[in-house]
Amino acid sequence: MRFRLEEEGGEQICRAEFKPGPTHVGYSEMLHGGILYSLLDDVMANWSFLQGLRAHTARCEIRYRDAVPMGVGLKLEGRLLRRRGRMMEMEGKAFRDDNGALAATARARFMSAGAPRHDSSSTA
């Protein structure tokens, strides 16, 4: 997957696309829920990575909203909701690319792992 930051309405959103293959199948030819969880965790984590920050998942909760049949791609979004000290509260969303339906949402807390990974010229 290729993650990218896009500005929208004054906020930075991490976006990516994913198309499940045969190794991602769960029951009845649907995307396995654990794969969907991992995708949302990744898009939220990459928000901080692309900002030049090192952070790790401290807690994550997912809500599954719509099954994703095999072969249907996903559009993923991750964004920062708020930051307090080293703790970042993030939100992730996965949308089906065939009909735009919200497949799952996640809320997570990420703990900053210290100094930014870029040199001192970074604005992160």
Task: Give 92-106 pLDDT, tens digit per residue.
Answer: 999 999 999 999 999
Nearest to 78 by CA among 50, 56, 101, 53: 50
Let me know if residue 124 belongs to a domain: no
70 is in which domain, residue-wise? 4-16+25-112
Task: Quote the percentage of the chain above a pLDDT of 70.
Answer: 91
Provide the pLDDT for residue 115. 58
Let me know if residue 75 belongs to a domain: yes
Structure tokens at 76: 């993923």
Let me know if residue 67 belongs to a domain: yes
Let me know if residue 76 belongs to a domain: yes
Q: What's 36's domain CATH number?
A: 3.10.129.10
Mean pLDDT, rounded, of the chain: 91
d(CA 119, CA 52): 9
Any idea what DSSP says for residue 115? S
**Number of structural domains in the chain:** 1
Let me know if residue 11 belongs to a domain: yes
d(CA 33, CA 80): 23
Let me know if residue 99 belongs to a domain: yes
DSSP symbols for 63-80: EE-S--BTT--EEEEEEE
